[in-house]
Chains A and B, each alone.
Chain A
Amino acid sequence: MRRRAVALLLAIGLAGCGRSPAEQLSTALEGVLSWIATARTVADDWLAGRAPRRYTRATLQAALESLEQERASLTSAPRPVADDQIEKALPLIERIEIAVARTWDAVGKVDPAAVREQRQALDGLESQLRALGARGTTP
């Protein structure tokens, strides 16, 4: 009985160690959505005078690095299952990276109008990503 319980625990633990490409895509898109929300929130906070400039830029830099990582993980993912969706997601993520980089630049130049413009661009890109089936965490 005890051996069975231990074996069951080990099986539960080890069974999920591998992830399917569809799961990888879903996890990566979830991460991308979270970083879009982060970039949007920190931009809003900066515009409202709630976030210091250095912190805002550090957060946008972190968003940029993480988005690059998500894109790299999708590029190297095995393709057979979610091939079509990955091909559609990759250029979208690249455009999101560009929007975040431009926001970073605009905050550096203290240009609120440009920050607002990129924030709107992020909203549009998020909608396109959600149309691909991406969704955030739901408790």
Chain B
Amino acid sequence: MLKVVLGIVTSIGGFVEVGSISTSAQAGASFRFRLVWALALATLCLMFLIEMSGRLAAVSKHTLADAVRERFGFNFHVVPLAGEAVLDGLVLTAEMGGVAIALHLLTGIPARWLVVPVALAVWLLLWFGTFGMIENGMGLLGLVTLCFVVAAMKLGLPWREAAGGLVPSVPPDHHASYGFMAVSILGATISPYMLNFYSSGAVEEKWKESDLMTNRITAGIGMGFGSLVSFGVLAAAALTLQPAGIQVDRYEQAALMLPPVFGRWGVPLFAAALAVGCFGAALEIALNLAFAMAQAFGWNWDKNQRPAEDARFSLVYTLAVLVAVVPILAGVDPLRLTLLSMAVTVIVLPIVVLPFLVLMNDEHYVGTHRNGWLGNAVVAFIVVMGFVLALVAVPLEIMGS
């Protein structure tokens, strides 16, 4: 029971990060509730994929990367691995930039200088922390992001209009921007790094077949409630920024959604939510990059071991954190980087998801717990959707951002 509750709570706390905050804030500020359908669709896809990642790990004792390498061979595995490495690098930079921006909102010090202590803090926690401390600790702290849901409620959420957003509708103008936002929300929510990270966590925690129900509840309820936080951001932006005529081009503008509800605590709360969400995600992404590399090349990768016992694994996340600092120091805008990484996500997504179709139907890996027709249909849909979105993502990025 405790495991289930902890899984749900950390899913809620760990759901929101730089991509979901920025895309939801932009969507709400520019299109009110018209993009709720994109968030709902992405959440549904994520629930299925997370459940499959956990089921694969619990039954086969393989992480996703491990299973792909073993089943398809290294020559195939190098393609999703390269895509995920590029994407993880981009998103890691954006997340650390997000923490630096949060501190900038409170201190006024330029974010590019704050990213150095942020990177040091990320690395120290990765080096000295255990997997449980990182996953559960940051997930619990992440509950501060529920302030967006509270704000949406206190602002008088128009339920009928919000529910109407579940049905896709085209706005009268700004079509390219609308399309780009829809792609960005899908990219921000269905993060490929979450799939391997989740399965790596399940293997680290030695999940068994008896944990399949916990897995199902965490994936379903946890991710469902987690997406409520993203919805809270979208709704708060729709109810405060949109009527004021504010589009979100910088994080400073997004922070204006909370003072109408929380008064002088609004900006500090926004900064805390952004900082905690991004910090937790930065830890997970750096770890996932190390997991993926170690699993691809057959190195030790237990996060609960001392760094000296899996030196190459520790070296990967150390280098990742170091490299990710450079673009922010060079003055790259974290928000623009976030939107670029969301477009890259939809390009990488089909390559990462395609192997699910084979792995989740292979008795060697999942035994009798194979996918049903619904699971396979969802995976096929995500792959097709990913390919279509990959074709339009870059032109939309140019036109709509």
Bound pair (A, B): yes
Contact: B106 with A136, CB < 8 Å? no
Q: Which residues of chain B come closer than 8 Å to A45, judged between CB atoms?
A: 256, 259
Q: In whole angstroms, what is the CA distance A44 to B399 when docked?
A: 33
Q: Looking at chain B's contact residues, is the secondary structure mostly helix, strand, loop, or mixed? A: helix
Given A10-B391, A31-B249, A42-B256, also A50-B399 (CB < 8 A): no
Given A13-B394, A17-B395, A136-B245, also A41-B174 (CB < 8 A): no
Q: In whole angstroms, what is the CA distance A37 to B268 when docked?
A: 21
Contact: B246 with A41, CB < 8 Å? yes
By size class, the interface of chain B is: 35 or more
CB distance from B134 to the nearest CB of A (A): 29
Give the contacts of A42-76 with B (CB-CB under 8 A): 42, 45, 49-52, 54-55, 57-59, 62, 66
Contact: A55 with B267, CB < 8 Å? yes
Q: Which residues of chain A come closer than 8 Å to B108, judged between CB atoms?
A: 54-55, 57-58
| B233-253 contact mask (Cβ, 8 Å, vs A): 1 or 0 | 000000000101111011011
Q: Which of A31, A41, A42, A55 has the most CB of B within 10 A?
A: A55
Q: Which residues of chain A come closer than 8 Å to B246, judged between CB atoms?
A: 34, 37-38, 41
Assess whether B156 is interfacial by the CB under 8 Å rule: no
Q: Which residues of chain A come closer than 8 Å to B125, judged between CB atoms?
A: none
Q: Which residues of chain B come closer than 8 Å to A19, judged between CB atoms?
A: 399
Assess whether B368 is interfacial by the CB under 8 Å rule: no
Contact: B391 with A52, CB < 8 Å? no
Give the contacts of B277-300 with A (CB-CB under 8 A): none
CB distance from A39 to the nearest CB of B (A): 10
Q: Which of A42, A52, A139 has the most CB of B within 10 A?
A: A139
Residues of B within 8 A of A (CB): 29-32, 34, 104-108, 171-174, 176, 242, 244-247, 249-250, 252-253, 255-256, 259-260, 263-264, 266-268, 388, 391-392, 394-396, 398-399
Task: Show 12 A/B contacts (Cβ-Cβ < 8 Å), sorted by A.
Answer: A12-B392, A17-B398, A34-B247, A37-B245, A41-B244, A51-B264, A55-B252, A55-B255, A58-B252, A59-B255, A136-B245, A137-B29
Instruction: Rank and list the top 9 A-B pairs by shortest CB-CB distance, nearest first.
Output: A13-B395, A54-B108, A37-B245, A50-B259, A59-B252, A34-B247, A136-B245, A16-B399, A139-B32
